[in-house]
Amino acid sequence: MPMPTMPIALGDITIHPIVEQEGAFFDVMGFFPELSKEVFDENRFWLQPDFVTATGGLNLCIQSFVIKTPHHNILVDACVGNHKPRPTRPFWNMLNSDRFEKELAAVGLTVNDIDYVMCTHLHTDHVGWNTKLENGRWVPTFPTARYIMSDRELAHWTQREKDNPSSVPWITDSVLPIVEAKRAQIVKSDFTFNERIQFIPTPGHTIDHFSVLVGKAGSDCLITGDMIHSPLQGRYPQYGMMSDYDSRQAEKTRHQVFDRFCESATVMCATHFPSPSTGRVRRWGDGYKFVPLRG
Ligand SMILES: [Zn+2]
């Protein structure tokens, strides 16, 4: 097992977390609308204090992952970003933080070094750093990068923006400017980037969400994106989260993906789990548990 747990080394590829924020932004009962107080109380003994606070706050990490290969630096997801009006989310509204760029610098990179940005889905806390404000305009943050997005995901959100722009401000300021700048590479959600990097369709949380499988069988890692938000949804794959497009499809996705990987050495990089966000998935009754990596 790797020690320390991060970065993850898979031959000549390494995967590094780039954290923007960590905290208990949401109440666990509101975040998982189908969760009962009774089931929550039964599970507090293992959820607290790492995953849930004593007062019922859900501990979440907002982060990207950088995949460094001998040929490319690839950013998977792009957090919340700076200077973005998010009036319904006070903790993300008009963020002005240098943490994201400092964490990039800590792995030896600047925004100029990113060759690709892979967008697992187009939610506000995954696309923010796609763009930055320059002379009053939103321009690509990563000046030479191509931004890879799913065709159906982009079509869905583009239509939502057309119908009611004020309901999806992050599409207006962090997605459409990438398309207008001709930096978007539109693909299917089962896209093969190369022989070591493959998209796995994981729909449900959004209409055409994908996860990113890196490495070779026996030495690989799945960057989950938002197919799961908390280990509670491993134990109970049926629990949808409040912003799901289709929670029943998301449930099916969790079963399919975790069944595939629960006997394997595959490391999960679970994007929203508290740091270090990594573990292997194993069976737990009708669900699955996450076993953290240890040195
Ligand atoms: Zn999401």
Q: Is the pLDDT of residue 125 over 50?
A: yes
The Å distance, Cα 170 to ligand 1 centre, comes to: 12
| Whole-number pLDDT of residue 1 | 36
Cα(169) to centroid(ligand 1), Å: 15
Rounded to an integer, the average pLDDT of 204-222 is 96
- The pLDDT value recorded for residue 2 is 36
The rounded Å distance from CA 113 to ligand 1 centre is 26
Is the pLDDT at 195 greater than 50, yes or no? Answer: yes
**pLDDT average, residue stretch 71-75:** 97
- Tell me, what's the pLDDT at 199? 98
Which tens digit of pLDDT belongs to each residue from 229-260?
A: 999 999 999 999 999 999 999 999 999 999 99
Token pair of 222, please? 């799945």
5 pLDDT band (50/70/90 cuts)? low
Best CA proximity match to 279, nearest among 57, 63, 56, 289 = 289
Cβ contact 197:242 at 8 Å: no
Q: Is the peptide bond before 165 cis (omega within 30 degrees of 0)?
A: no
Average pLDDT, the chain: 95
- The predicted structure's pLDDT at residue 6: 76
Residues with CB under 5 A from ligand 1 (ion): 123, 226
Ligand 1 centroid distance, CA of 8 (Å): 23
CB atoms within 10 A of CB 185: 16
Bridge partner residues of 139 (DSSP): 132
* Residue 295 pLDDT exceeds 70: no
pTM for the full model? 0.96
Q: Are 39 and 81 in contact (CB under 8 A)?
A: no
